């Protein structure tokens, strides 16, 4: 069984913001699987599928970003998710807009959603996909991450959404994680 979690904020006003990259990526993944977010559980909305005989749960916590770990911990406990079968997708202001970085583990960095997850799970040892949102701006960081995407931003991010959805499909399809990283990190390194 696999648990795929996208991070974001649930209110409509946050839908089209940089801080909702995780939600946008898992939306594209769910679309790729041909399923819908149709269940509320563990303070998240979820979609369920089977891929190569394995159950896959895709979740968007509705706890707001800073409490994402609470929802995620409930989902991990409810479904008894094994180590290595959880993957989290989120925005990263330290990576250029539209870039993608896939890692098997790592620190939470400055991301409050990831800090909450690390605190609630008590580990940094789980795969993650970071989607870059950095671009030059005079705005303060807090204002920038909650600002609306422009048409140009969306266009630049579209390839990243598609690439993340494909990487997630490979991950839940049982492909070796090192191969998933090779397939997607190398190709996008040129953009950085």
Q: Residue 153 and residue 79: Cα distance in Å, rounded? A: 36
Share of the chain above pLDDT 70, in %: 96
Active site residue 184: no
pLDDT, tens digit, 9 for 90 and up, residues 32-59: 999 999 999 999 999 999 999 999 999 9
Q: Which of 2, 20, 32 has its CA nearest to residue 164? A: 32
Q: Is 17 helix (H, G, I), strand (E, B) or coil?
A: strand
Q: pLDDT value at position 189?
A: 45
What mean pLDDT, rounded, does the chain reach? 94
Check: CB of residue 131 under 8 Å from CB of residue 90. Answer: yes
| Mean pLDDT on 75-85 | 96
Q: Residue 66 and residue 32: Cα distance in Å, rounded? A: 28
Q: pLDDT value at position 30?
A: 98
Rounded to a whole number of angstroms, the CA Rg of the chain reads 15
φ and ψ at residue 80, rounded to 5 degrees: 50, 55
Share of the chain above pLDDT 90, in %: 89
pLDDT band at 110 (very low <50, low <70, confident <90, very high): confident
**Residue 61, CA distances (Å) to 5, 33, 74, 99, 108 in order:** 8, 19, 10, 23, 17
| Residue that has been written with the tokens 């998933």 in this structure | 180
pLDDT, tens digit, 9 for 90 and up, residues 121-159: 999 999 999 999 998 888 898 899 999 999 999 999 999
Given 19, 85, 111, 184, the catalytic residue: 19
Q: pLDDT value at position 138?
A: 87
Domain span at residue 144 reads 2-189
* Count of structural domains, the chain: 1
Q: pLDDT value at position 137?
A: 86
Q: Is 7 helix (H, G, I), strand (E, B) or coil?
A: coil
Q: What is the CATH number of the domain that holds 53?
A: 3.40.50.1470
Check: CB of residue 70 under 8 Å from CB of residue 63. Answer: yes
């Amino acid at each position: 069984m696999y648990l795929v979690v996208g991070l974001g904020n649930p209110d409509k006003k946050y839908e089209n913001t940089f801080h909702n990259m995780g939600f946008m990526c898992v939306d594209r993944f769910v679309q790729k699987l041909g399923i819908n977010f149709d269940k509320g559980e563990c303070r998240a909305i979820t979609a369920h599928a089977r891929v190569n005989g394995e159950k896959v749960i895709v979740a968007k916590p509705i706890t707001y970003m800073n409490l994402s770990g609470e929802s995620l911990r409930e989902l991990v406990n409810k479904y008894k998710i094994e180590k290595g079968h959880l993957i989290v997708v989120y925005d990263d202001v330290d990576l250029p807009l539209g870039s993608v970085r896939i890692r098997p583990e790592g620190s939470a960095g400055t991301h409050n959603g990831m800090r909450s997850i690390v605190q609630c799970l008590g580990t940094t040892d789980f795969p993650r996909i970071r989607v870059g949102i950095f671009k030059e701006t005079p705005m303060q960081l807090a204002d920038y991450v909650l600002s609306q995407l422009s048409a140009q931003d969306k266009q630049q991010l579209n390839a990243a959404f598609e690439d993340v959805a494909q990487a997630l499909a490979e991950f839940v399809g049982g492909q070796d994680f090192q191969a998933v990283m090779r397939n997607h990190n190398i190709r996008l390194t040129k953009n950085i």
